[in-house]
Amino acid sequence: MTKLWEMTGAALAQAIRGKQVSAVEVTQAHLDRADEVNARINAVVDSFHDESLAAARQIDGQIAKGQDPGPLCGVPVTIKVNVDQRGRATTNGLKLQENLIAQDDSPVVANLRNAGAVIVGRTNTPAFSLRWFTHNDLHGQTLNPRDPSITPGGSSGGAGAAVAAGLCAIGHGTDIAGSVRYPAYACGLHGLRPSLGRVPAHNATGGDRFIGAQIMAVSGPLARSIEDIRLSLVAMAAHDPRDPWQTVAPIDQCKFAKRAALSLQPEGIEVDEAVQAALLDAADRLRAEGWTVDQVECPSLQEAARINAILWMAENRFAAGDMFAKEGNADALFVAQQMIADAGEIDLERVMIALKTRVGLIREWEQFLDRYPVLLCPVSGELPFEQQLDVRSEADFARVFRAQLSQRALPTLGLPGLSVATGQVGRTPVGVQLIAGRFREDVLLAAGAAIEKGGPPITVAQPDA
């Protein structure tokens, strides 16, 4: 018999709305699941059972009165600790921010609540949300529930682990260099990085950010089904006047040709045979659903990744200041040093040229995606890495950094990207990435659903005892 914490968000919302089960029962089942397994993986680092159950009772009360709580009617969700949630600390994995209590919900949290979601916990992130691994000195390390020897991804590693282990149906994550897409990949899930401006953002605890984060950082969902990705995107994308960058646009737009480009090794990067096999398999699944798939070279990812490095490191230089030294997290300090070295000397001229170059690059990508509505490419050049690989040595960091090219490139362009789980290689998850034009998440969802249909369903992981 399927347990409540094994069900998708869409199935739970339907069952709660139809009074087949109460929101309180669903919430309690997920809280019990967290009590049972979270200690083994450390995905949820802030829980509040009474508050969660009170929110669930409110959902049940609305249903009893014949009211519609919203599309996420009673669905258990988690929120990443780098986003404001009223009454909770926005730690961003930092001891420095352990007591930084938010007075108001960020737009994405408010939107999830307004859509009927029940928040059942806050999930871990690396210090400064800087890595593709999830470890910090405040909350500790998060383990991958499918295999503790490999990373759960980062920086939304806690969200990925929570969804994979059945602690929630949908996890909230943020992405400035793959932080939604990579945890989804590493944990065997689907994860969406929406277009810039699709999901409103604002953290009152941190104030307004510099231009790099303004044009590259977004919030997005991780889930065990494409249907749940769609459902949560609709909820997250509701209008909020606090974000001047938000563009309210319909999720479903004009019809598109079922034509995909396949790039096995963008710009000749090294890609594992297992990853290439997953891409070829995904292409076959698309063809089985009526898509045309052509193997072609996509526009430059290297140039987009270079711009990401300049803008992101400029952001850290001006926004973080001496916080890295004050926090004293050895992993974050090492990673920051490597990334700063990769970015090179950053001054006003380099930032201005990077912003100018970005416009032409976006133009080139939009023209490419006008010919091919979706690009099928690697999420990473390698299968999910061993835990803590990036901080073992400079050579190991360089290896990780090279493999994550598409993670780093996409935010520069403001385009949406979807990580789609396709199966496993032994115990190790594998998947593919889809990229579409601005605000064409509908294309990603359609292609993602076709790939999902042709493969095994995503099951909840049972963490090692």
Q: Which residues are known catalytic residues?
A: 80, 155, 179
Burial of 364-385, coded b for 16+ CB within 10 Å and e otherwise, reads bbeebbeebbbbbbbbbbbbbb
Q: CB neighbours of 25 closer than 8 A, spacing ≥ 6?
A: 4
Backbone CA torsion sign across 260, 261, 265, 266: negative
Amino acid letter for position 125: T
Of 150, 233, 137, nearest in space to 194 by CA: 233
Burial of 29-48, coded b for 16+ CB within 10 Å and e otherwise, reads bbbebbeebbebbbbbbbbb
Q: Which residue has the tokens 């399927």?
A: 2
| Beta carbons of 164 and 187 less than 8 angstroms apart | yes
Point out which residues pair with 430 in neighbouring strands. Answer: 423
Give Cα 355 distance to the centre of its chain.
25
Cα atoms in the 13 Å half-sphere on the side-chain side of 38: 24
**Could you give the CA distance from residue 196 to residue 220 in angstroms, rounded to a whole number?**
11
Of 111, 61, 56, 52, nearest in space to 87 by CA: 52
**Could you give the CA distance from residue 212 to residue 309 in angstroms, rounded to a whole number?**
9
**Could you give the CA distance from residue 135 to residue 158 in angstroms, rounded to a whole number?**
10
